[in-house]
Amino acid sequence: MEFTVQQVAALLNGEIEGDSQRLIKGLAKIQEASPTDIVFLANMLYEPYAYTTQAAAIIVNKDFVPRKKINATLIRVEDAYVAFSKLLGEYNKLTQSSEVKAGIEQPCYIAASASIGENVYIGAFAYIGQNVKIGDNTKVYPHVYIGDNTTIGNNTTIYAGVKIYHNCVIGNNCTIHAGAVIGSDGFGFAPQADGTYIAVPQVGNVVIEDNVDIGANTTIDRATMGETLIQCGVKLDNLIQVAHNVKIGKNTVIAALTGISGSTEIGNNCVIAGQVGFAGHLKVANRTTIGAQAGVIKSIKEENQTLIGSPVLDIKDFMRSFAIFKRLPEIAKRLDALEKIIANNSKQ
pLDDT tens track for 247-287: 999 999 999 999 999 999 999 999 999 999 999 999 999 99
First to last CA, the chain: 89
CA–CA separation, 244 and 224 (whole Å): 6
- Between 91 and 67, name the one with better pLDDT: 67
- Does residue 281 carry a catalytic annotation? no
The rounded percent of the chain whose pLDDT value lies above 90 is 92
Q: Would you state the pLDDT for residue 213?
A: 98
- pLDDT value at residue 54: 97
One domain for residues 161 and 295? yes
Alpha carbons 46 and 84: distance in angstroms, whole number? 15
Instruction: Judge whether residue 1 has pLDDT over 70.
Output: no
- The domain containing residue 63 runs over which residues? 3-99
Domain identity same for 60 and 151:
no
In a domain, 323, yes or no: no
pLDDT for position 101: 85
Please give the helix or strand (H or E) that residue 164 lies within, else none: strand 163-164
pLDDT tens for residues 193-240? Answer: 999 999 999 999 999 999 999 999 999 999 999 999 999 999 999 999
Same domain, 121 and 248: yes
pLDDT tops 60 at residue 97: no
Tell me the pLDDT tens digit for each residue of 3-12.
999 999 999 9
Same domain? For 117 and 153 the reply is yes
Q: Among the options 143, 166, 244, 281, which is catalytic?
A: 244
Domain presence at residue 269 = yes
Cis peptide, bond prior to residue 107, ω within 30 of zero: yes
Q: What count of other Cβ atoms lies within 10 Å of the Cβ of residue 156?
A: 24
Q: What b/e string do you get for 13-27 counting C-beta neighbours within 10 Å, with b at 16 or more?
A: ebebbeebebebeeb
Same domain? For 309 and 243 the reply is yes
Q: CA-to-CA distance for 211 and 214, rounded, in angstroms?
A: 10
pLDDT at 100: 74
Q: Does one domain contain both 232 and 311?
A: yes
- pLDDT in the model for residue 127: 98
* Burial grade of 251 (CB within 10 A; 0-12, 13-18, 19 or more): middle
Residue-wise pLDDT for 324-343, tens only, equals: 999 999 999 999 999 988 88
What residues form DSSP beta bridges with 134? 116, 152
Residues forming a β-bridge with 26: 37
pLDDT score recorded for residue 92: 82
Q: Tell me, yes or no, whether 331 lies in a domain.
A: no
The CATH number for 16's domain is 3.40.1390.10
Mean residue pLDDT of the chain comes to 95
pLDDT (tens digit per residue) in 27-80: 999 999 999 999 999 999 999 999 999 999 999 999 999 999 999 999 999 999
Across the range 138-148, mean pLDDT stands at: 98
